[in-house]
Amino acid sequence: MACLEEEIRARLERAGQSHLLRFWGELDPAQRDSLLESLAKLDAEELGEHCRRAAEACAREEEPRQERLGCRIEPVPPEFFGSVCRSDPRTLEQWEEEGLRKISQNKVAVLLLAGGQGTRLGVPYPKGMYDVGLPSHKTLYQIQAERIRRVEQLAGDKFGTRCTVPWYIMTSEFTLGPTEKFFQEHNYFNLEKSNIIMFEQRMLPAVAFDGKAILEEKGKIAMAPDGNGGLYRALMDNKILEHMERCGVQYIHVYCVDNILVKMADPVFIGFCVSKGADCGAKVVEKAYPTEPVGVVCSVDGVYQVVEYSEISLETAQRRNADSRLTYSAGNICNHFFSLDFLKAVTEKFVAFEVPREEEFSPLKNSDAADKDTPITARRSLLSQHYRWAVKAGARFVNGNGQRIPEKPSLSGDDEPPAICEISPLVSYFGEGLEKYLKAKDLKSPFLLDETKAETLTRA
C-alpha cells in the first residue's frame, strides 16, 4: 500500500492536483484505501487535461461575448434548414413515409440521455421515473416506451413487416441501478428486454474555477457524469456502436429524458434527414424572443454547433431577416439525428429541422416551486396537446352536468386546456387516427383514451 501511495502522489503531482491528498493524515485506514482506489482509476494525463480544459472554459466565460464570436458566427443556410410549419403537406408526407420505411427495415434506433438525477425536481431518483400528475399517472419512461411501441406498429402496418426500434439508454453511476430496477419492475413496459440496452457514461472529477479537482469529503473526490458531450466516449467504451452495427442500425435519434413531448424515432425528422443525405441533424424550435435563454444551433468558423445564449451579443441576437424572423432563431432542444457512419468516423453534412414548440418541446427540470420547466408546465403542455388533437378529430367535451364546454382549438402549450384529455401513445403516436374514436363524440372531462377505451368507442 505504501508503494501505491507513493505512485498516486507522483501522479497527482504531474497533474497539478496534489491537494487531493491534503487531508491524508486525518483519514482512517479504510478511508485511505477508498481514496487510493478512486485515485488509482484516474489517468494522470487525462486528469490534468480535464482540469486544464475546465479552467480554460471558465476563463473564456469571462471574455467579452463579442470578442469570442464576433463575425465568426453564421446561421444555418436555408438549403440545410427544414420546417414543419413552412413545408407543404405533401412534402411532410414524403418525409414521414421515408422515415417509416427506414424504421420498418430495422435501420432506426433511439438513444436516450438519462444520466442526470432528479435533484432539481426535489426527488432522489432518475427523472425518467417521475410522474407529472397525468390522469393515467404514467411516468416519463412509460410514455416514451409506449411511443416506441406505437411507431413500431405504424411502420410495420404501413410496410407489412414486423420491426423493432432498439432503445439505448445512457445512464450514469447514479442512475443505472435504479433505472434497471424500475424497468424490471414494470416488465420493460411490454418491450422486448433484449431491445433495451443500458450503459453508463463516464464519471469525471468535479473541477473548481481555478482548475483544481474538488473533494466532496476529506477522503472522497466529487465526481459527476461527463455531460452529454461524453456520449461519444461512452459509445466507444461500452461497444455500443458495434452492437448497433450488428443489429443493422444505420440511423440514431438522440434525445433527453426530460422532454415530455419528445417524438422518439420521429418518422418525419428521420425522413427529412435521410432525404437530405445528412450525417447529423438537430431538431430546433423557433426562439420565442431574441434574448430567450436557450442555445442556438448555428455555424462558427464553418463548424455547426450549439452556441450558448450568453455567448451571443445583443445586437446579433436581435438581428432579423427580410421576413422579420430572427436570423438566429434555431433554439436547441437537445434532439439530434446521427448516422452510424457519423458516429464511427465524424463527417460533416449537417441539417436543422424546425418543429412547433407547443407540439414537441416541454422540458421537466425544476420542482413546482420554480416558474418554468416544472411538473405543472409539463403536464399542462401534454394535456393541451391532447386536447387540440381531440378537438381536431371532431370530439366535443362536456362537463359533469352534460353541458358543452366551449372549444379552444388554437390552445397554446402555456394555456390550461378547458377540458382534461389524455391520449395513450399506444392509441396515437402524435395525433394520427383519432377520428374513428372521437368524431362527433361527446366526451366527459376528464377523459382518458387508452386501448380499452378505444375499443369501446369503436364498437359504439
Give the integer Cα–Cα distance in Å for 381 and 335: 18
Q: One digit per residue, pLDDT tens: the chain, 460 residues? A: 567 788 888 888 888 888 888 888 888 888 888 888 888 877 777 777 777 877 776 665 545 544 556 678 899 999 999 999 999 999 999 999 999 999 999 999 999 998 777 888 889 999 999 999 999 999 999 999 999 999 999 999 999 999 999 999 999 888 899 999 999 999 999 999 999 999 988 777 878 878 888 888 888 888 766 655 678 888 988 999 999 999 999 999 999 999 999 999 999 999 999 999 999 999 999 999 999 989 999 998 888 888 888 888 888 899 999 999 999 999 999 999 999 998 887 687 899 999 999 999 999 999 999 989 999 999 999 999 999 999 999 999 999 888 999 988 777 777 889 999 999 999 999 999 999 999 999 999 999 999 999 988 887 6
Specify burial of residue 240 (Cβ count, 10 A radius: 0-12, 13-18, 19+).
buried
Provide the grid cell at 277.
443525405
Q: Tell me which residue of 384, 242, 320, 408 sits closest to 75, measured CA to CA.
A: 320
Q: What is the pLDDT of residue 142?
A: 98
Spatial distance between the Cα atoms of 275 and 346, rounded to a whole number of angstroms: 19
Pairing of strands 296-300, 303-307: antiparallel
d(C-alpha 445, C-alpha 443), whole Å: 6
Which of these, 143, 158, 54, 186, lies nearest to 101 by C-alpha position? Answer: 158
3-state secondary structure of 383: helix
Place of cell 420498418: 104
Structural domains of the chain, ranges and CATH numbers in brackets: 2-55 (no CATH), 73-360 (3.90.550.10), 376-459 (2.10.10.100)
What's the pLDDT tens digit per position in 97-113?
999 999 999 999 999 99
